[in-house]
Amino acid sequence: MKTVWFLPLLFLYLVVFSSGYGKNVSSRPDVVNIGAIFTFNSSIGKVSKIAIEEAVKDVNSNSSILHGTKLNLTMVDSNCSGFLGMVEALKFMETDIVAIIGPQCSTVAHIISYVSNELKIPLLSFAVTDPTLSSLQFPFFVRTTQSDSYQMAAVAETVEYFGWKAVIAIYVDNEYGRNGVSALNDKLAERRCKISFKVGIPPVSGVDRGDIIDLLVKVALMESRIIILHVGPELGVLVFSVAHYLGMMGNGYVWIATDWLAYFLDTKSPLPYEKLDTMQGVILLRQHTPNSDKKKAFLSRWKQLTGGTLGMNSYGLYAYDSVWMLAHAIDAFFNQGGIVRFSNDSRLNSQEGSDLHLDAMSVFDDGMLLLNNIVQSNLVGLTGPLKFTPDRSLVHPAYEIINVIGTGIRRIGYWSNYSGLSTVPPETLYTRPPNRSSANQKLHSVIWPGDTSTNPRGWVFPNNGKLLKIGVPVRVGYKEFVSQIRGTNNFKGFCIDVFTAAVTLLPYAVPYQFVPFGNGRDNPSYTELVYQITTGEYDGVIGDIAIVTNRTKIVDFTQPYAASGLVVVAPFKKLNTGAWAFMRPFNPFMWIVTAAFFLVVGIVVWILEHRTNDEFRGPPKQQFITILWFSLSTMFFAHRENTVSTLGRLVLIIWLFVVLIINSSYTASLTSILTVQQLSSSVKGIESLKNSDDPIGYQVGSFAEYYLSQELNISKSRLVALGSPEAYAKALKDGPKKGGVAAVVDERPYVELFLSSQCSFRIVGQEFTKSGWGFAFPRDSPLAVDLSTAILALAESGDLQRIHDKWLLKSSCTMESAELESDRLHLKSFWGLFLICGIACFIALFIYFMQIMHQLRTADPPDAISCEASSGRSRHLHRFLSLMDEKEDPSKSKSKRAKVERSPFENDRDEESGRHSNRRQTELATMSNNLSN
């Protein structure tokens, strides 16, 4: 009965517990096989071998990691050989290992990554930095250190920080060196820098000192003095020794070593002074691992393990952390039900009978599960956080930037992918918002090769006897700017003098030769001349080269040494001021309205004053004259009639204010007409040219043709090419009707020189483009930068203006003389006024003489003159002269005028009063006679 119950319970146990909870327990083996492949005898390998062994011991001694499962480590030496690495990797695959720590070399990694992909064995490489090993191509390759793409970004930002534009790359010619330099080139290009020269060293032991000497001699002949050294420790030390021997570790040189030098110095420390002396002033990079108690404890333990004979480097720390990362991943693998189980590949089974025994290799069935756990790692090791980004890179990539000084090294700053260059540890910056601004990029001072703290310029002219080929346009017109000296390749002119003066200010010699460009019959195409720089035909181009957009896309220009821009030149005519110029301030309608208001105001004031003011009373004719006189005299504020009514005074005050404004405006306008040059042109500017159909002239070779046709969409059929100032003048004088042009569009410097001798033309409208003239050089040329500084120095010292005045200051026709002439007033501007005044005087005299003649005929001859004593003609002349000389009694004229002006009633009253007065006087006389008697 007990047996009957026992069998079902046993079956239930085997089914339920074996398929559930019991699966995790039973699937954990006692031992898990892992492998390690690297180069034992290298600086990295010596340290990594001990670090990996210690890591395995620590994991196996910690029961909380694998819960009783032990790691069984097998290490093989690949000697950085692709062939040996492949052989050793294939041997690993026969031992049922679940993962491989390594490899160390990029060459080996490229080969065995294909094997690991097929057999699903993860590779945890602690030393391969080749950026081309992608997780997309090799999903089972996991990089547990930093990629060289980050290291080269640090190098590129350092180069940019010091203002260098071109570097020389020396590298070992294998996957590590080539792919690292390729990444460097990409990172430099992002910052508009470049590798101007690169040379590879064969990765073989047969390279001797003589080969390195030949290589560095080539480097010394190059322009750049910034040298990036991306090799292994053995080659690197040899390169520094030869460079020191050749004097290439002196003033002006900059050497930047990638992290190979850092782990070499860390491993070999202290390095003999003889070797360290060959590296003075070198800048190097080292992978940054933040300080922590765990790291300090391990470094203390390391000294006990090695007895101080072997230093720890960053790759040793990454190797140690790789073991721990794998151990945690294996533990998670088992917790998820993973089973260490291998199966044969059917493709390999088909190779039966082969001596290679390929059928011994098997596929790790749950390899993908283990890989996922590795990639999802999230722990803290000796090197800091062990966590991957989506592209399988470790988080927080950072490097220390170090300067070799004296008998040791000094850290001058840090680089991190988070915030760039800084003088504080990156882990401090991770707590702040990222800031990649140029102002935030900082490094401590550097002691450069040659024991100097002055930042090297970074380039020199190559000492190879080669002269810079400077292209110069052969102009036909406007030779004041550039002209070739007949029979030679030398040039003269404003642009040439500016270039030679700027070159003399440079702190170094510039060997160059001028190369003419053009056929000498027509102005050459300046765009084509500039393009010749990109083809290598010229090392630079000087002359009257306009800095325009399509040219700046292919070359670099210096600071502009002359302002420029397109302007319109057109014929003009002077507005004739003439005899009737005084009428021009007001248009006819204004004159009519003004005259009408004078009359209207006079009538209004007369109406308002007539009843109360005696001065506005009298006969109709006299009142009409009073109205005219009063209204017109207000023009000069000379009216003598008084206004007594309030309304009349109000109207008069307002009108006098209006007259004041009118007089002031008239005076100002007339002054402007008579003293300021008045010019007129049918062309008002570029807009009027666009809207017309008239032909437009431009200078041959100028960018004006491109601008007019492409930017302003003016038909090319309207554009007329002109090659000289004489052609300008003829085309403008002829005009569109005679086969000429309505206007010429050209750059301001040419136009100013043209107008200095051609007084019949003027600039119309505004300058409608803004540019300048500069010297052109290849992209990122340091000479363009230095010449820009020299041009600014010329401008500040006044030399640039003196050169301008020497070649371009002309006095035959200047605006100043024209303005001075226009300030002088001539009789022709006023003879109309004098004519009016003369006519008025003539008419007044004529009327006066007519009155005299009338009196001469009606008056009696005087008694004093005897009519008989003179002839008839003489008598009339004497009578005429006596009337002219005779003084008229104003009382008579006044009494006569008063008598005429009085009414009949007033005259009768005066006669009556006269009779009474006479009678009174008679009575008074009679009384006086009586008294006397």
Instruction: Give the lowest-confidence range in 146-155, 453-462, 764-773, 879-888.
Output: 879-888
Mean pLDDT value of segment 690-716: 87
Categorize the per-residue pLDDT at 691 as very low, low, confident or very high, splitting at 50, 70 and 90. Answer: confident
Categorize the per-residue pLDDT at 115 as very low, low, confident or very high, splitting at 50, 70 and 90. Answer: confident
Q: What confidence tens digit (pLDDT) does each residue in 483-529 have?
A: 999 888 899 999 999 999 999 999 888 889 999 999 888 889 999 99
CATH homologous superfamily of 568-574+680-770 equals Periplasmic binding protein-like II (3.40.190.10)
Using CA atoms of 96, 101, 105, 110 in order, give the dihedral in degrees to the nearest 10: 50
Predicted confidence at residue 859, as pLDDT, reads 64
Is 319 in a helix, a strand, or coil?
A: helix
Categorize the per-residue pLDDT at 255 as very low, low, confident or very high, splitting at 50, 70 and 90. Answer: very high
What is the Cα–Cα distance from 177 to 170, expressed in whole angstroms? 9
Answer for the pair 285, 262: CB distance below 8 angstroms, yes or no.
yes
Determine what percent of the chain falls in helix, strand and coil, rounding each to the nearest 5.
50, 15, 35
| Nearest alpha carbon to residue 701 among 551, 524, 542, 543 | 524
Q: What value does the mean pLDDT of the chain take? A: 82
Categorize the per-residue pLDDT at 19 as very low, low, confident or very high, splitting at 50, 70 and 90. Answer: very low
Q: Which residues does 756 contact at the CB level (< 8 Å), separation at least 6?
A: 808, 810, 811, 812, 813, 814
Inform me whether the pLDDT recorded for 917 exceeds 80: no
Could you tell me the residue ranges of all domains in the chain? 31-145+306-346+358-393, 148-292+397-440, 468-563, 568-574+680-770, 581-675
Q: Which two tokens stand for residue 42?
A: 């290298």
The helix-helix angle for 588-609 and 646-675 (nearest 10°) equals 160
Inform me whether the pLDDT recorded for 903 exceeds 70: no
Cα dihedral 833, 835, 839, 841 sign: positive
Alpha helices in 390-455 (DSSP H): 426-429
Q: First and final CA of the chain: distance in angstroms? A: 210
Burial-class residue 166 by CB neighbours within 10 Å (0-12, 13-18, 19+).
buried
Inform me whether the pLDDT recorded for 864 exceeds 50: no
Instruction: Give the lowest-confidence range in 20-24, 53-57, 379-383.
Output: 20-24
Answer for the pair 879, 861: CB distance below 8 angstroms, yes or no.
yes
Instruction: Give the lowest-confidence range in 11-15, 353-357, 752-756, 802-806.
Output: 11-15
What is the Cα–Cα distance from 126 to 260, expressed in whole angstroms? 14
Inform me whether the pLDDT recorded for 648 exceeds 80: no
Is 423 in a helix, a strand, or coil?
A: coil
Predicted confidence at residue 325, as pLDDT, reads 96
Backbone φ, ψ for residue 448 (5° rounding): -90, 170
Predicted confidence at residue 576, as pLDDT, reads 56
Categorize the per-residue pLDDT at 888 as very low, low, confident or very high, splitting at 50, 70 and 90. Answer: low
Q: What confidence tens digit (pLDDT) does each residue in 258-270 have?
A: 999 999 999 987 8
Answer for the pair 484, 495: CB distance below 8 angstroms, yes or no.
no
Q: What confidence tens digit (pLDDT) does each residue in 383-431 have?
A: 999 999 999 999 999 999 999 998 889 999 999 999 999 999 999 999 8
Categorize the per-residue pLDDT at 921 as very low, low, confident or very high, splitting at 50, 70 and 90. Answer: low
Inform me whether the pLDDT recorded for 558 exceeds 70: yes
For tokens 């200095």, name the residue.
Answer: 756
Percent of the chain scoring above 90 in pLDDT: 44
What is the Cα–Cα distance from 847 to 827, expressed in whole angstroms? 29
Higher pLDDT: 416 or 580? It is: 416
Amino acid identity of residue 813, one-letter, is C
What is the Cα–Cα distance from 706 to 854, expressed in whole angstroms? 85
Higher pLDDT: 877 or 49? It is: 49
Categorize the per-residue pLDDT at 600 as very low, low, confident or very high, splitting at 50, 70 and 90. Answer: confident
Inform me whether the pLDDT recorded for 350 exceeds 70: no
Instruction: Give the lowest-confidence range in 149-163, 199-213, 628-642, 852-866.
Output: 852-866
Instruction: Give the lowest-confidence range in 235-249, 665-679, 814-828.
Output: 814-828
Burial-class residue 104 by CB neighbours within 10 Å (0-12, 13-18, 19+).
buried
Q: Which residues does 354 contact at the CB level (< 8 Å), separation at least 6?
A: none
Predicted confidence at residue 441, as pLDDT, reads 92
Predicted confidence at residue 918, as pLDDT, reads 54
Categorize the per-residue pLDDT at 348 as very low, low, confident or very high, splitting at 50, 70 and 90. Answer: low
Instruction: Report the range out of 19-23, 411-415, 837-841 with the highest average pLDDT.
Output: 411-415
Backbone φ, ψ for residue 439 (5° rounding): -70, -25
Fold annotation for 148-292+397-440: Rossmann fold (3.40.50)
From the CB of residue 334, how many other CB atoms can be counted at a distance below 10 Å? Answer: 21
Is 55 in a helix, a strand, or coil?
A: helix
The helix-helix angle for 43-60 and 259-268 (nearest 10°) equals 70
Predicted confidence at residue 3, as pLDDT, reads 43
Instruction: Give the lowest-confidence range in 176-185, 492-501, 735-744.
Output: 735-744
Predicted confidence at residue 2, as pLDDT, reads 42
Amino acid identity of residue 115, one-letter, is V
Predicted confidence at residue 9, as pLDDT, reads 39
Mean pLDDT value of segment 306-327: 94
Higher pLDDT: 270 or 444? It is: 444
For tokens 């290799």, name the residue.
Answer: 361
Predicted confidence at residue 147, as pLDDT, reads 94
**Whether CATH 3.40.190.10 fits 468-563:** yes
What is the Cα–Cα distance from 50 to 58, expressed in whole angstroms? 12
Q: Which residues does 181 contact at the CB level (< 8 Å), separation at least 6?
A: 169, 171, 195, 198, 228, 230
Using CA atoms of 168, 174, 176, 181 in order, give the dihedral in degrees to the nearest 10: 20
Does 270 sit behind a cis peptide bond, omega within 30 degrees of 0 on the bond before it?
yes
Instruction: Give the lowest-confidence range in 619-628, 661-670, 821-830, 843-852.
Output: 821-830
Mean pLDDT value of segment 600-629: 76
Say yes or no: do domains 31-145+306-346+358-393 and 568-574+680-770 share a fold: no
Q: How many CA atoms lie within 13 A of 103 on its CB side?
A: 30
Inform me whether the pLDDT recorded for 181 exceeds 80: yes
What does the angle CA 865 – CA 869 – CA 873 come to, to the nearest 5 degrees?
A: 85
Inform me whether the pLDDT recorded for 626 exceeds 80: no
Per-residue CA distances from 124 to 52, 193, 255, 863 (Å): 12, 34, 32, 153
CATH number of 31-145+306-346+358-393: 3.40.50.2300
Higher pLDDT: 691 or 931? It is: 691
Higher pLDDT: 255 or 872? It is: 255
Predicted confidence at residue 904, as pLDDT, reads 46
Predicted confidence at residue 589, as pLDDT, reads 82
What is the Cα–Cα distance from 906 to 9, expressed in whole angstroms? 165
Predicted confidence at residue 312, as pLDDT, reads 93
Q: What is the pTM of this model?
A: 0.68
Predicted confidence at residue 651, as pLDDT, reads 76
Q: Are strands 123-125 and 99-101 parallel, antiparallel or unpaired?
A: parallel
Does 103 sit behind a cis peptide bond, omega within 30 degrees of 0 on the bond before it?
yes
Mean pLDDT value of segment 164-171: 94
Cα dihedral 682, 688, 691, 693 sign: positive
Q: What confidence tens digit (pLDDT) does each residue in 90-114 have?
A: 777 777 899 999 899 998 999 889 8
Q: What confidence tens digit (pLDDT) does each residue in 49-74 have?
A: 999 999 999 999 998 899 889 999 99
What is the Cα–Cα distance from 109 to 147, expressed in whole angstroms? 14
